[in-house]
Amino acid sequence: MGESSAKHLRGESMADVVFSGSATRKPVQQASVELVFDNSDGRIGGQYAAYAEISIRRVVNREGVSTYSLNGTRCRRADITQIFLGTGAGARSYAVIEQGMISRIVEARPDDLRAFIEEAAGISKYKARRHETENRIANTRDNLQRVTDLRDELGRQTARLAEQARAAEIHRSLTAEQSVLQSRLLAVRARLLRATLAEALRQCERAAAGAVDAGQQEQAAARRLADTREARERLQAAASEAQQQNFAAAAAVARAEQDLQHLRDRRARIESGRQQLGQEQARATERLTADRAALAEHAASLAALSPRLDEARTRAEALQQGLTGTEAAAGESARAWETHLRVAAELVRHERVELTRLQQLDARLAEAAERLATLGRTRQALEAQSAAARPEDIEARLQEIATALSAAQQAAEARRTALDEARTRQRECSQQLAEVRGGIQHRRGQLASLEGTQVQALGKQAGNVREWLRQRGEPRGLRLAETLEVAAGWEQAVEAALGSRLELLWLEREGDNVAELDLPAGVVGVLTAAPAASAAAAAPDCLAARVRGAPLVLEWLAAITVVEDTPAALTRLAEAAALPAVLTRAGVWVGRGWTWQPLVRAGQQAGVLVRERDLRGLRAGIEELEVLAVGHTEALGVAQSRVESLQREEREAEPTLRRLREDQARLASEAAAMRARLEQIQQRLEAEYAAEREIEGGRARILEEREAVAVRLAECQRALPDMETERERLQAERMGLERAVQEGRQAAREAREIVHRLELESTRATQLVNAERAAIERGETALAEAVLRANSLREELAQLQAPETALLATREDALQTRFLAEQAAQEARNRVAAADHALTEAEAAHAEALTLARAAQQRLEGTRLDERTASVRLADLEQEATELGVELSAAEAAVTGEETEGALREQLERIARRIARLGNINLAAIDEHREALTRKTFLDAQHADLTAALETLETAIRTIDRETRARFQTTLERVDAGFQRLFPRLFGGGSASLRLLGDNLLDAGIGVTAQPPGKRNGTIHLLSGGEKALTAIALIFAIFELNPAPFCLLDEVDAPLDDPNVLRLCELLK
């Protein structure tokens, strides 16, 4: 239901619990589980106490998301966990024992065992609430700290704002005074400005009249100037027209002269062309004649070159053939030379190699001799080192240390043996002490159980009786049954004889008048103390003979005849006719014809004397065991002292032993190093001897090889002169052939050059012939074209005679027209100059009038500007007065005539200086100070509330702790009692108990002590798997007896058990 780990559900994710489908069913999208609990007894309290049933449902979808609902209402997983706290079915429940969990319960950590007791006590919800309360306290403390910080900061801020508010008040009063003075200053200035404005209006009227007069004069001058300008423009237009006519006449003259000049230039060009053309015809005739003569000359030269070219080609071919034979002979000679050089080089190389080899062998011989000398010196040094080394000294010292170390180790081994024995003795004493203490605890448990039963049986639990005995100085408050000593086996008979008188109070103080005692309710009767007496004088067949106690009791019992059993009783009655009845050992009254056994209420007198005997035996056994415990404790102390002494001796001997071991290791290392060094020296000597033998053998081989090399070198040196003679012969032959080849090549090259030169001359002659022929053709063509052009120029020159006469007449007419136009234009320019002079005079008069008008206008503008300035300044003053909240007219009426602007300004400056001395003013400080005081008051109240809440939470914590301690102590005692009762029932004996592992009931862990019958284990971990399972089952059932959960699931709890223990478990479950 509440598992969040998919691994514990045997899956990889929570989505694995959703059905994925099969061959016959489709997959679903979610899995759900619902549990319904009966809450008719209201065990689940709180808001769900009114519900008779509690339904809890969990739904898991394929995304692995879980949703929880409580009575159909969606809720959190924590809400469900909160409901089950203290019911035994919570998150740390003892109601669900998983597979393999039963054996781990008793081996669990003390805190985990405590969780089971807390769940049984129902205080897990208190712990959850305590945790929540602690979190709230922590949050409250944090809030309180923040509130305290805010209060402190706000206190400092309030003090600062108070100073600023005081300065703001002063600033406000000075500002108000400043505003009054400013309003009065504005009124004085407004009064002055109104006077200035009235004067400016008067000046403006006078300036306006002057400006009107000057404007009229300027307008008259402007009209005259306009008339003058109009007349000048008319004259200027007439002059421009005359000038245009003059320009047209001059253009006509220029065109006529230009046409005439163009005609003359064209005729001159034609004449020049005719002259050039005639010169070209003459030059072309000369070139044509020269080209024809050159053509004849070149043709003759070409005919003479052909025989010479054929002869040169024949001679070049003959020389080339001879050169080929000479080059073949030279090639053979070169190959022979190269072969000779190669052989000679090989011989020289062999000579050099053998010479180098001989030098190397000589160097190797010298090196071998040097190495022999070095090896001799090294061998001598190694022999000296070997002789100087004395390993026997180190061996002797090492033997001494080994002897001392052996003695020390033997002593250490003896100490360790003694220490092991002492520790064994300590463990034995500890185990014996634990067994004795366990026996004491077990007997005390039995004693407590029997005492409780005895107290209940004898009615000693009444509080009023204990108080009565305490007031009378009778702290023990013994009953009669506790003062009797009954022979073994006769307890039932005595109980049947005495009955309820066994509950009589036994007062130890003698001489008390029983009749005068005010006995409390519930007391059967009282007997005063008397020395215990024996029944030695009583009849052997009476009951008093088997009892030792108060005389009165013996008197009661002396009248009762006892027998072993009912047949003996019948026999005794038959023998003694005076006996009315006899009592059997089993407590049966046998009379004449009747049998009666007193019925007693269960839990009262039945077995009182037997229990009293057992109680005396248990007390005696406890005293004996306590004596044994004291002896074992003393023996344990002696063993511990012995262990500590041996450990101290071992610690003291450890440095010496460590030093001896270090010396032994050091000397062993030195001896090993010396032996290794000697071995190295010996190996080096052997290596030196071997090297000497190898060098001697190598030296002999080098000498043999040197002789062979010397022989080969002599052979090479003898062959060198023959090779030199052959080389000279081949060289002379080769040089002769090379000279012949060079001469043949030179002659062939010269012949080829002659052929080439003749071929070039023939080609050049051919080209010249062709060029002369082309030149002749071009000359003839050019001469024909020149004749045609000369005829064309002659005709064009004849055509130019008529146009020249017409152009001369046109030029004369244009010159006459230009003269008349120039005269008319000059007259028009003179009239325009007169008009310009008149215009200048009119413009000067207009300028003077305009200057006067502008001056008048400027005066008018100045007066108007003064008027507007005064108006604007007055409006500004009114705006300032409005901003100050002052009615300017009322302020003017309030000021007196003695107040001046300077005095008011001086007063304002003094106030301004006072304001400036205040510095920066926070004008909002007054409101801020008021708000800060309000906030501080609120924070003070919050601080008080948080302090009260903290005290309330701490009180709740103390209440929870007190309730937790009480419930936990009670639950632990009751579970322990149940555990001690169920453990012997499951095991057929033995003892077990729970114990606190600390003094603090709030967090102390729980330990389990269990000793099956016939087994002395020091710890719970020494038990077998089945014993652990039975111990855990006893603990779980003890918890269930106290606080049963709504259900209980036991998964394979019998797996570690054998068949007899399984039967016991089944009986317990039934």
More confident residue, 336 or 30: 30
In DSSP notation, 929-986 reads HHHHHHHHHHHHHHHHHHHHHHHHHHHHHHHHHHHHHHHHHHHHHHHHHHHHHHHHHH
- Residue 376 is predicted with a pLDDT of 78
Kindly tell me if the per-residue pLDDT of 93 is higher than 70: no
Q: Model pTM?
A: 0.32
End-of-domain residue from the set 53, 84, 115: 84
The confidence band for 604, taking pLDDT boundaries of 50, 70 and 90, is very low
How far apart, in Å, are the Cα atoms of 1029 and each of 760, 1053, 1070? 134, 7, 18
Is 1032 part of any domain?
A: no
Q: What residue numbers bound the domain in which 6 lies?
A: 1-84
Contacts of 994 (CB under 8 A, 6+ apart): 117, 972, 975, 976, 979, 1006, 1007, 1008, 1009, 1035
What strand order describes the sheet that includes 589-591? 562-563, 581-584, 589-591, 595-596
End-of-domain residue from the set 603, 635, 662: 603
Number of domains composing the chain: 2
The confidence band for 601, taking pLDDT boundaries of 50, 70 and 90, is very low
Of 89-93, 145-149, 330-334, 744-748, which gets the smallest average pLDDT? 89-93
Is 78 part of any domain?
A: yes
Contacts of 490 (CB under 8 A, 6+ apart): 543, 546, 547, 562, 585
Is 43 part of any domain?
A: yes
Contacts of 57 (CB under 8 A, 6+ apart): 32, 33, 34, 35, 68, 69, 70, 72
Two tokens at 648? 């101290």
Look at residues 1015, 1008, 1020, 1024 and name the one whose alpha carbon lies nearest to residue 1056.
1024
Is 166 part of any domain?
A: no
What is the per-residue pLDDT across 511-531, written as a single tens digit (0 to 9) for each?
A: 555 555 556 655 555 556 555
- Residue 952 is predicted with a pLDDT of 82
How far apart, in Å, are the Cα atoms of 470 and each of 336, 507, 747? 156, 12, 171
Kindly tell me if the per-residue pLDDT of 267 is higher than 70: yes
- Residue 169 is predicted with a pLDDT of 80
Kindly tell me if the per-residue pLDDT of 911 is higher than 60: yes
What distance in Å separates the CA atoms of residue 999 and residue 1040, rounded to the nearest whole number? Answer: 26
The residue ranges of DSSP E strands in 53-190, in sequence order, are 53-61, 66-70, 73-75, 96-97
- Residue 2 is predicted with a pLDDT of 60
Residue 458 contacts residue 465 (beta carbons within 8 Å): no
Is 68 part of any domain?
A: yes
Which CATH number is 56's domain given? Answer: 3.40.50.300
Is 251 part of any domain?
A: no
Q: Are strands 589-591 and 595-596 parallel, antiparallel or unpaired?
A: antiparallel
Is 697 part of any domain?
A: no
- Residue 535 is predicted with a pLDDT of 47
**Mean per-residue pLDDT of the chain:** 76
What is the per-residue pLDDT across 966-1024, written as a single tens digit (0 to 9) for each?
A: 887 888 888 888 888 888 888 888 888 888 887 777 778 888 888 888 777 767 777 88
End-of-domain residue from the set 60, 84, 108: 84
Is 814 part of any domain?
A: no
What is the per-residue pLDDT across 921-939, written as a single tens digit (0 to 9) for each?
A: 777 777 777 887 888 788 7
Buried b vs exposed e over 845-884: b needs ≥16 C-beta within 10 Å?
bbeebbebbeebbebbeebbebbeebeebbeebbebbeee
**Maximum pairwise Cα distance, the chain:** 222
